[in-house]
Structures are given as C-alpha cells and as structure tokens.
C-alpha cells in the first residue's frame, strides 16, 4: 500500500515547488513551498482532507469568478463554485490523471455553469437585473465616475453589456468569458469545453462580432 503523503511532507520534500501545468495559477503562498496540484490530489485521494482544502484555497477565487461571469449573482456563483468543489471531492477517486487537475476541475465547473444557463432558459424569462449590476464595479474604471451624468452613462453601459452577454448562446458565451474575462489560452478553453481549438476560435469570433454589433454605440 502507498504510504499516506501529508501536505506537510510534500512541503518538506518539494522546496523548489514545481507547479507543473499550473503556472498560471495565482496563489497567496510563496511558490517555494507549494506542492503541485497533482501531489495534493494524490494525497487527497488517500483521504487527506487538508490536501483537498489546499486545492480549494488555490482555486476558489478563479472558480468563483468564472461562475460569477455566468450568473452575475454572488450567491449563485458561490453555490455553483462550491458545488464544483463538492463534485470534485466526491469523484476524486475517478480522476485518472490523464488531464491535469486544473482542466478536470474547471471542466466540472464549466459544465455546471452551462447547466445553470440551460435551467435558466427553461425557467421564467429573466430580465437583466440592475440590482445585480449595482453589486459590481466595472474593472475598467478604477475610480468611480463622480458626476451624475457619468454615473448614468456607466450604468447604461453596464446594463447594455449585461444584456448583450445574456443574449449570447451558451457555448459562445463560455468561450468569450474564459478568454476575455479569465485570460485562458485557446488550448485551455478547448480542453475545458471538451472541443477542438478551431471550434473555440469560431465561438469566440462569433461572440465578439455579436457583442461588437450590440455595443456599437459605445465604440
């Protein structure tokens, strides 16, 4: 039987911290004491909860932001991202390591987000909610507009952007959100969406074309 590897043991064994395949991940900890995701997964598979919690700590913010890009609602985004972690936790034994944990986990999350959008479509038509918009700050505006005119203008842009994004077909929106908001590469998006890179490029191009037409007045 393989001996149980604790997170602490990994930290001692891997002083150089090679984050193979996860170089883009941002963590609060110094990379010099970070074990790779795969090592944490191996440890979590043997029942080490602390290792799994370390994975959560590592991925929770990005997972939340991806879910938020789909839902535009804090509570929904929280629930969806937590559900993704739960699914990963309960199915960890089925993770065969053919792809990285990063790809496997975010694929679970993206599928949950797509399911959420499908459920939303089947349910009562949801008008774009301005109260949700008010929770958020447009990232391109580090300083809040001061004059009332500017505030109205910013709100109008925000509203129109929200509507335009809502109108995109689910897979176009997924490709766009993962590229534009999360900055993933085409290859990574293709892996998460379980599709070809060419298909991702087409989805992205169509999404950009639609958004450009809908937001023409702000160009």
Partner 1 sequence: MTEPMRTLVSPCGELEENLVLFHYGDLDGAERGALQGHLHSCTACAGYLKELDTLLPLTLKADQPPETFWTDYNRELRQKLDRAAEKKSWLQSLGEFFWPRWMPALATAGVVALALTLTIGRGIWSTNDSQDDAAIMELLPVAENLEFFKTMDVLDNLDLLESMGSQSNAA
Residues that bind partner 1 (CB under 8 A): 49, 52-53, 56, 60, 64-65, 68-69, 72, 74, 77-78, 82, 85-86, 89-90, 135-140, 157-158, 161, 164-165, 176, 179-181, 185-186, 201-202, 204-205, 208-209, 211-213, 215-219
Q: Which is nearer to partner 1, 14 or 95 (by Cβ)?
A: 95
Q: Phi and psi (nearest 5°) for 200?
A: -60, -45
DSSP string for 40-91: HHHHHHTT-HHHHHHHHHHHHHHHHHHHHHHH--HHHHHHHHHHHHHHHHHT
- Closer to partner 1 by CB, 16 or 215: give it: 215
CB of 96 to partner 1, least distance (A): 19
Least gap, CB of 89 to partner 1 (angstroms): 6
- Smallest separation (angstroms) from partner 1 to the CB of 12: 25
Q: Burial level of 42, CB count in 10 A (0-12/13-18/19+)?
A: buried
Nearer to partner 1, 114 or 202 (CB): 202
Residue (14 or 120) nearer to partner 1, CB: 120
In contact, 162 and 72? CB cutoff 8 Å: yes
Please choose, from the candidates 139, 187, 142, 182, the residue with its C-alpha nearest in 3D space to the C-alpha of residue 161: 139
- Least separation in angstroms between residue 173's CB and partner 1 is 11
């Amino acid at each position: 039987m393989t001996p149980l590897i604790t997170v602490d043991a990994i930290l001692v064994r891997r002083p150089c911290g090679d984050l193979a395949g996860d170089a883009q991940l941002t963590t609060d900890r110094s990379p010099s004491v970070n074990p790779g995701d795969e090592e944490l997964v191996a440890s979590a598979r043997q029942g080490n909860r602390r290792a799994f919690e370390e994975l959560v700590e590592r991925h929770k913010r990005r997972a939340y932001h991806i879910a938020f890009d789909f839902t535009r609602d804090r509570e929904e985004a929280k629930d969806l991202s937590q559900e993704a972690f739960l699914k990963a936790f309960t199915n960890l034994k089925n993770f065969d390591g053919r792809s990285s944990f990063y790809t496997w986990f975010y694929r679970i999350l993206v599928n949950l987000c797509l399911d959420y959008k499908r459920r939303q479509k089947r349910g009562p038509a949801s008008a774009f909610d301005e109260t949700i918009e008010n929770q958020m700050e447009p990232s391109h505006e580090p300083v809040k507009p001061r004059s009332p005119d500017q505030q109205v203008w910013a709100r109008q842009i925000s509203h129109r952007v929200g509507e335009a994004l809502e109108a995109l077909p689910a897979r176009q929106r997924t490709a766009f959100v993962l590229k534009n908001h999360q900055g993933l590469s085409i290859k990574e998006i293709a892996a998460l969406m379980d599709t070809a890179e060419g298909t991702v490029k087409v989805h992205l191009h169509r999404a950009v074309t639609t958004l450009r037409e809908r937001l023409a007045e702000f160009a």
